[in-house]
Structure 1
Amino acid sequence: MRLLHTSDWHIGRSLHGSDLLWAQGQVLDSLVDVVTAESVDIVLVAGDVYDRAVPSADATMLLDRVLVRLRAAGAQVVLTPGNHDSARRLGFAADLLSRSGVHVRAATASLDEPVLFTDRHGEVAIYGIPYLEPVVARHELGLGGGRSEGPLSHEVVLGAAMDRVRADLFLRPGVRSVVLAHAFVGGALPSDSERDICVGGVDLVPERVFDGVDYVALGHLHRPQSLTHRMRYSGSPLAYSFGEAGQQKQAWLVELDAHGLADVQPVPLPTPRPLTMLTGELADLLADPDLHLAEQHFVSARITDPVRPADPMRRLQGRFPFAVHMEWVGAGRPADARSYTDRLRGRGDLEVVDEFVAHVRDREMCPAERELIGQGLTAAAQDERLS
């Protein structure tokens, strides 16, 4: 049996305000091509299908189109919600969808009820564990009632979920098994585009929690990586931050034989529009002939001019039309650690404006500018007294 492990589609996400739905459509359509070329039987989507709990109409239409195409290509689909999804919304009509070969496993209460598939070697049980928020999941998993019993970690709730999975597997001797889970497993490397799922380290889940199954298809972290041969993150199909620039995005092609996990191979995914980070003075970036490829990339620029240039983003987009982020770092003058109140105490209006201008453009006002500002402040004070 051949499985395609993917996750973190985040349909509807943008990049610094730039719509990515067209790029998501392209890369998700490429999964359909993989299903056809590799004779994939089942596509596993390990959470964060959407980018928000209430997705837009366009986002839901894209998911509908992709699921229809995956089924038409011959693969069934098993998907679970992540921390960005609403489990109840994603699970709408789950029973009806399962009849068409799309299996949405969004209910905590039934996480130990696998989707069963059959090949020439027998049965494969696929368990979908939805994202488990400890405070909510504790009740559904029978782990206690209130705050007085102490905080629960992701390790505790996922451990309880896996205990249920292993108990069900005990009653299915010889059945091969796969688990989908959305979690931060210890030893994995995060990116800067994931949303924190907890505070203080209690989101970390040790590998041993997932003992006892043939393959663990993980979601949540956007960097593709292998924790063990049988436990992997597919990563997101697109780069969702400039910290992921240059990453080769992928899915995992998983093969099961009569004895369990036989092989896992990476499947590279296309990059509809690469991400590039540029650093330098604005005039140099606009004139450098070696940057011609970046003209078709999403661009994040760090402008190092000693004085903030006029209208830098518009000028940057004149050459790099897909520039979506710009930061002026200036000459790097040391930051003032004083509070806002301390910086204003005992200062006149002109001194405050002078410091503001120096902060914005890293250069103090010249005498002519200071005189003009002073005249304006005096006139404003006179108008205020007259009123």
Structure 2
Amino acid sequence: MGDMRILHTSDWHIGRTFHGNATLPALRDVLQTLVAQVREHEVDVVLVSGDVFDSAAPAPDCYTLLTDTLAGLRETGAHVIVTSGNHDSAARLGFQAKLLRDGIHVRTDPAALATPITIADAHGPVHVYGIPYLEPTLVRRLWPGVRTQAQAVGHAMHMVRTDAAVRGGRTIVMSHCFTSGVAATPHLERDIQQGGLDIVPAAVFDGIDYVALGHIHGRSTLSEAVRYAGAPLHYSFGERDKPRGSWLVELDAEGLADVQWLPLPVPRALQAIEGTLDELLTDPRFDDAQDAWVSARYTDTAAQVDPMRRLQQRFPFCAEVRHAPAATVTDTRTFTARVGAAGNDAQLVDAFLAHVRGGEGATDLEAELIRDVVGERVAAQASA
């Protein structure tokens, strides 16, 4: 036994859907690869920093995947330490812990966070402090005066440091929070306080040998010793350019010795494509998106009929369609001014179309139809 090897992962979100599509089969494949990496690199400890499940009431298949993955990790010989996040049910994870085998540790109780899991290597003990997600309104009864998550994590770290000073040795902290120095992915990190994100200063973790963070779905390095691993699977098109994987951390006798990124496979690539609907349906430059999850923006001036069904004929995994007309605003007059300047009914309809389309009036074909309809109306009135 030499230096300690630690794998840092987080935010599995077992049970989350992707635009209505199940992700469980893809996640199972990815987590099987993660287990293989743990075995290949002879990892001693696996840290899962929160949001193991995506909801407080996971479906039975979600429990099966979690149990199979944790068992697979333990069979490699590694210890596994799991904390709860803001999406998990701490009570359900805590109940699950009682059913798990020796060497798999689940930390969900804020009151017990200053009691570490201690694992020894050739250089002595390593103390791992698992801090679950700390909801201020829930921990206030334990720690009077706490009003924000920053205060809650600060108080938790005071407890950790007090305990670590007595024990001695090297320390690792797991925490599920939004820490300063990293940008959130839109629509993913849903823990938002009124008035903005409840940000935990990165300095609160100073002096710890390694801090394994969860909550942000993209890989991020706040300092050599403070990192986010991100989610192992893409759960949003906003994440499509962010790599998937985990951090392989090595501790020597003095503390942090090395950190390497271990990439995970992407079961299906994510692509964003844009053009007129006809271009999206026919242009060869989009051929490489035919096997990808697709987010399509079509730029036609007018909304098109049934664009999702039509796009899925070319892109079977098209998951999102948005109408984003290319606005060419050349007339900055108000709608009232445009209406006032209309000399006839056809011009009045054109002014309305230009207003709702952001500057683009009737096309040639539409103008011809409008003239026909207006002409029929005038003729009918004249013959009445």
Match of 2:280 in 1: 285
Q: Percent identity?
A: 48
Once the two structures are overlaid, the 10-residue window that deviates more, 256-265 or 315-324, is 256-265
Q: Report the CA distance shift for 1:85/1:197 in structure 2 as closer, same or farther (over 3 A).
A: farther
Give the unaligned 5+ runs of structure 1: 145-150, 339-350, 375-387
Paired amino acid for 2:59 = S
Report SS of the residue matched to 2:82. Answer: strand
Paired amino acid for 1:25 = R
Q: CA deviation at 1:239?
A: 1.6
* Aligned 1:245-324 pairs, distance under 5 A: 245-324=240-319
Match of 1:131 in 2: 133
Residue 111 in structure 1 maps to residue 126 in structure 2 = no
* Aligned 1:133-212 pairs, distance under 5 A: 133-140=135-142, 142-144=143-145, 152-173=147-168, 175-192=169-186, 193-201=188-196, 203-212=198-207
Report SS of the residue matched to 1:185. Answer: coil
Q: Report the CA distance shift for 1:88/1:333 in structure 2 as closer, same or farther (over 3 A).
A: farther
Paired amino acid for 2:50 = G
Paired amino acid for 2:133 = Y
Q: Report the CA distance shift for 1:337/1:22 in structure 2 as closer, same or farther (over 3 A).
A: farther
Do 2:119 and 2:125's aligned partners in 1 also have CA atoms closer than 8 Å? yes
Q: Report the CA distance shift for 1:188/1:369 in structure 2 as closer, same or farther (over 3 A).
A: farther
Task: Give me the whole-angstrom Cα distance separating, in 1, the residues matched to 2:262 and 2:192.
Answer: 28
Match of 1:214 in 2: 209
Report SS of the residue matched to 1:78. Answer: strand
Paired amino acid for 2:303 = R
Task: Give me the whole-angstrom Cα distance separating, in 1, the residues matched to 2:91 and 2:316.
Answer: 40
Match of 1:15 in 2: 18
**Alignment root-mean-square deviation, CA:** 2.7
Residue 236 in structure 1 maps to residue 231 in structure 2 = yes
Once the two structures are overlaid, the 10-residue window that deviates more, 288-297 or 25-34, is 288-297
Q: CA deviation at 1:337?
A: 11
Q: Report the CA distance shift for 1:111/1:197 in structure 2 as closer, same or farther (over 3 A).
A: farther
Paired amino acid for 1:279 = E
Report SS of the residue matched to 2:211. Answer: strand
* Aligned 1:29-48 pairs, distance under 5 A: 29-48=32-51
Q: CA deviation at 1:368?
A: 9.2
Do 2:86 and 2:191's aligned partners in 1 also have CA atoms closer than 8 Å? no
* Aligned 1:84-95 pairs, distance under 5 A: 84-95=87-98
Aligned residues: 350
Q: CA deviation at 1:244?
A: 1.2
Task: Give me the whole-angstrom Cα distance separating, in 1, the residues matched to 2:299 and 2:321.
Answer: 11
Q: CA deviation at 1:285?
A: 1.5
Task: Give me the whole-angstrom Cα distance separating, in 2, the residues matched to 1:279 and 1:271.
Answer: 23
Paired amino acid for 2:144 = L
Task: Give me the whole-angstrom Cα distance separating, in 1, the residues matched to 2:220 and 2:96.
Answer: 33
Q: Deviations over 1:114-151 (max 9, x none)?
A: 111111111111110000011111212x224xxxxxx7
Paired amino acid for 1:235 = G
Normalising to structure 1: TM-score of the pair?
Answer: 0.84
Q: Deviations over 1:306-361 (max 9, x none)?
A: 222222111100010000000011243779999xxxxxxxxxxxx99x979x9599
Match of 1:5 in 2: 8
Task: Give me the whole-angstrom Cα distance separating, in 1, the residues matched to 2:200 and 2:98.
Answer: 31
Q: Report the CA distance shift for 1:38/1:336 in structure 2 as closer, same or farther (over 3 A).
A: farther
Report SS of the residue matched to 2:175. Answer: strand
Do 2:191 and 2:197's aligned partners in 1 also have CA atoms closer than 8 Å? no
Normalising to structure 2: TM-score of the pair?
Answer: 0.84
Do 2:218 and 2:243's aligned partners in 1 also have CA atoms closer than 8 Å? no
Once the two structures are overlaid, the 10-residue window that deviates more, 1-10 or 202-211, is 202-211
Paired amino acid for 2:77 = G
Q: CA deviation at 1:370?
A: 6.5
Q: Report the CA distance shift for 1:264/1:336 in structure 2 as closer, same or farther (over 3 A).
A: farther
Paired amino acid for 1:111 = L
Task: Give me the whole-angstrom Cα distance separating, in 2, the residues matched to 1:70 and 1:116.
Answer: 18
Do 1:189 and 1:223's aligned partners in 2 also have CA atoms closer than 8 Å? no
Match of 1:101 in 2: 103
Task: Give me the whole-angstrom Cα distance separating, in 1, the residues matched to 2:334 and 2:184.
Answer: 30
Q: CA deviation at 1:240?
A: 1.4
Task: Give me the whole-angstrom Cα distance separating, in 2, the residues matched to 1:73 and 1:369.
Answer: 76
Paired amino acid for 1:188 = V
Q: Deviations over 1:193-236 (max 9, x none)?
A: 22134232461111121123211000001110110110000011
